[in-house]
Structure 1
């Protein structure tokens, strides 16, 4: 049952006898409009920790005109206390150590339907979806997210008691990656798709947890979930899903190499050999319009930079920066993957060349502390805000001249596209989605090696452009027209959905 704190927002429906239930929806009234269950651990409308939350909010909406796409997310405290009504529509039994749950339905104002997996003991906690208030992983994360995967499988097999059944299940990253495995173990005829947003996070747990998670003994070997003596949720999804996607074409190639395969490159190469791995680039949502973004102090368009200057003036006051010199932005999680240590190494060079740096982000405590100290050493030239605020982040994109993004690896990246749309030229490593979305010297600057000397050379090229206003304006205009919006990703997803559904139909016909 829902917690007392959430009771005001959850409207339990009266119990219905079997005869009173409408027939289970098995076939779409519109044959081309397929039913898709999108399984995710984040959804920006309700709870967000990173880019997955943005994707989970934007992609289903972009696909909804073509498909009946619905979300499944855990019922975190932030979700059940969001003020949006939740109506109980399904009941799930327990299995091994995975407890019984309810399924609530939340209907959003724009028509998007979200199924909420309700179990207060598992999900209604302080902290983030993954860690507690002290930044420590929840000790029972394997239970919490295996339960999410099992719930998706139960919905797919029609065992959840809700009057809707998907024709395809789309699982996202390791927290949802057990869904394809549970579907396979339950012999579901519904095909599954797994999208890897970041291969480095795999959802590992002790091999002794297999019995708690009702994992068949036959699936605990090297061909199943076993990963160097542990169980890997992400490996389960890769092994059992009918297709795997990543969030850029280049990242799909990179993860098949030992350098970036995180120990799963062999399995991923096997997926390539049977045409079950591909990359579909992320987009940005329609709110990223500099002309109309309500977060900005003043809107602007290509060639009319008064609004850009107004946002730069806000950033200067907010971060205590001087009003002269090019403004470099860091809008990032402060973690090793993002190359923050490289930015720390080149910061003195930027200041010496007359530049300023504005930073907003949070992450690893050690990197937060070093970044904050850097700001204290350079008052007026480097301003640092530890934390995150959407309006301030957008104003920093809009007010800056360049974005610093020296990621060691980057599956897709959204920040570089946000920056481009707001006429801030990204300076980024040539990796993953950064290489797919930035054309060096045209709408941004790329460097190859993850070293400070290569990074400084790219910064110097950017400063040369800044000293030539006509060239700077031309690159800004190119950048503003570069990013993809989500509606442009619909066609490749639609083709993949249709392919998986056709394959499933052909397979069922042969059985």
Structure 2
């Protein structure tokens, strides 16, 4: 099959979260299965600076944006996995320090930026060889593409993947002229939502098929608790919605082969973790210790449960525990965590930003990964943690619930510690259960080995997407 992926992130060239990892791994897995796969992204500054052998093509595409006609040159390159990638060059839109805006804010012209990008995608698809049969679109930045395909009667099938329903691309109704769509599209049956343009709703309504990144999350987003206002819209279209679990990229995240580790290890010899643990301690200025080491590697936002972590911080500033936080996000949450690190410097360390080399070492050295998310569509870090024998402590929601088996002391089985209610007391109780297992070395070793034997490869995910692509192509033939 001929597939064109469209998104705004691709690891390691443009990344703010897990979407980038998906776009790096899934196209590569599909290519290994014999399909023709290419990707299209905006030519962000970070991509221009990091993607090798990037070259301009002779193709210049133009699209109306309100009353003006805007043009973009197409560039081409190949990723480190030999995936063909097309880049949409428009410097005034994409040559910026941040992808979407400084942390905690959005650029004021994001409507213009991503409406234009969404218009260029189907235009480009008509020039790509071999011609794509399916446009696989990701998150709200490409949410208008199915609308433009439908309005233009273009010969593509569209599959749209929701990575996080909370980010919807809402813009004032006054921005509707930028779409250049007929007025009838700005209606409850179209892309209008409470007098706003809602790019995610547009994709839900107009795409041929929908997926999200775990089976449980596909069910959750049809409920008021997790639906972020779009539960009814999704429920009405559940016939075209599937939940496909994201995969873990074991070519980059595996302690048996990870080049960032001084000492590699495996499920057969998980005890070698302690060597990485000592290195982690030295990197944050601590002496090595036998105390359990907890880590959190995440965007620092309320959705990720950071206020819950702050509320139970006493669990980690005692002599029997240590905590390292790696991430960035909400400035107020960052400052709160940094303040705690200053006050309790021998048991709490915080690094703001994302250091991938340190993230690998930290997952290898830590005993437990904290994932107290209020909701979690899938999550990737905990999948990596399982392979490293770093046991997740997580809220029972979304992809976390689909992939972690909570420790059962009677059966002596489990790969992590789940808690249900999104409250501090439940989170703290799960942390204490983890500490109990840590004090029982045989149980700890058994849990680590079971966790490291879990298999969540992209090959399985790619096969599930392949089935949906085949159905889409079959339906196109019938039409």
The normalised TM-score by structure 2 is 0.95
In 2, the alpha carbon distance for the partners of 1:162 and 1:498 equals: 20
Task: Answer yes or no: is 1:155 the counterpart of 2:127.
Answer: no
The alpha carbon displacement at 1:301 in A equals: 1.2
The answer (yes or no) to whether the contact 1:247–1:280 under 8 Å persists in 2 is yes
Task: Answer yes or no: is 1:106 the counterpart of 2:114.
Answer: no
Structure 2 match to 1:143: 112
Pick from 107, 112, 128: which aligns with 2:98?
128
The answer (yes or no) to whether the contact 1:152–1:179 under 8 Å persists in 2 is yes
Structure 1 match to 2:382: 416
The alpha carbon displacement at 1:162 in A equals: 4.4
Structure 2 match to 1:302: 267
Task: Answer yes or no: is 1:469 the counterpart of 2:441.
Answer: yes
Pick from 166, 170, 175: which aligns with 1:204?
170
Task: Answer yes or no: is 1:316 the counterpart of 2:284.
Answer: no
Structure 1 match to 2:232: 266
Pick from 31, 51, 64: which aligns with 2:31?
64
In 2, the alpha carbon distance for the partners of 1:189 and 1:421 equals: 42
Residue-by-residue CA offset, 1:451-503 (whole Å, 9 max, x unaligned): 11111111111111111111100100111112401112111111010001101
In 2, the alpha carbon distance for the partners of 1:385 and 1:251 equals: 30
In 1, the alpha carbon distance for the partners of 2:448 and 2:156 equals: 46
The alpha carbon displacement at 1:163 in A equals: 4.0
The answer (yes or no) to whether the contact 1:73–1:115 under 8 Å persists in 2 is yes
Compared with structure 1, are the counterparts of its residues 164 and 99 closer, same or farther at alpha carbon in structure 2 (3 Å cutoff)?
farther
The answer (yes or no) to whether the contact 1:297–1:307 under 8 Å persists in 2 is no
SS of the residue 1:41 aligns to? coil
Residue-by-residue CA offset, 1:323-348 (whole Å, 9 max, x unaligned): 23100011111100000111111120
Compared with structure 1, are the counterparts of its residues 450 and 108 closer, same or farther at alpha carbon in structure 2 (3 Å cutoff)?
closer
The answer (yes or no) to whether the contact 1:89–1:105 under 8 Å persists in 2 is no
SS of the residue 2:179 aligns to? coil
Compared with structure 1, are the counterparts of its residues 110 and 198 closer, same or farther at alpha carbon in structure 2 (3 Å cutoff)?
closer
Structure 2 unaligned regions, length at least 5 = 408-413
Structure 2 match to 1:4: none
Pick from 444, 460, 464: which aligns with 2:432?
460
Q: CA RMSD in A?
A: 1.5
SS of the residue 1:46 aligns to? coil
The answer (yes or no) to whether the contact 2:104–2:329 under 8 Å persists in 1 is no
Identify which range, 102-111 or 380-389, moves more after superposition: 102-111
The normalised TM-score by structure 1 is 0.89
Count of residue pairs brought into register by the alignment: 467
The answer (yes or no) to whether the contact 1:321–1:356 under 8 Å persists in 2 is no
Task: Answer yes or no: is 1:406 the counterpart of 2:372.
Answer: yes
Structure 1 match to 2:410: none
The answer (yes or no) to whether the contact 2:214–2:245 under 8 Å persists in 1 is yes
Task: Answer yes or no: is 1:48 the counterpart of 2:15.
Answer: yes
The alpha carbon displacement at 1:353 in A equals: 6.7
Residue-by-residue CA offset, 1:234-278 (whole Å, 9 max, x unaligned): 111111001110000000000000111011111100111xx2001
The answer (yes or no) to whether the contact 2:139–2:164 under 8 Å persists in 1 is yes
The alpha carbon displacement at 1:112 in A equals: 1.0
The answer (yes or no) to whether the contact 1:321–1:382 under 8 Å persists in 2 is no
1:73-88 correspondence to structure 2 within 5 Å: 73-82=41-50, 83-88=52-57
**Runs of 4+ with >6 A deviation:** none
Structure 1 unaligned regions, length at least 5 = 1-33
Compared with structure 1, are the counterparts of its residues 472 and 109 closer, same or farther at alpha carbon in structure 2 (3 Å cutoff)?
closer
1:15-414 correspondence to structure 2 within 5 Å: 34-65=1-32, 66-82=34-50, 83-97=52-66, 99-108=70-79, 110-125=81-96, 127-132=97-102, 136-156=105-125, 158=126, 161-272=127-238, 275-285=239-249, 286-305=251-270, 307-322=272-287, 323-352=289-318, 354-414=320-380
In 2, the alpha carbon distance for the partners of 1:92 and 1:411 equals: 35
Residue-by-residue CA offset, 1:137-169 (whole Å, 9 max, x unaligned): 11111111112211122134x2xx444421000
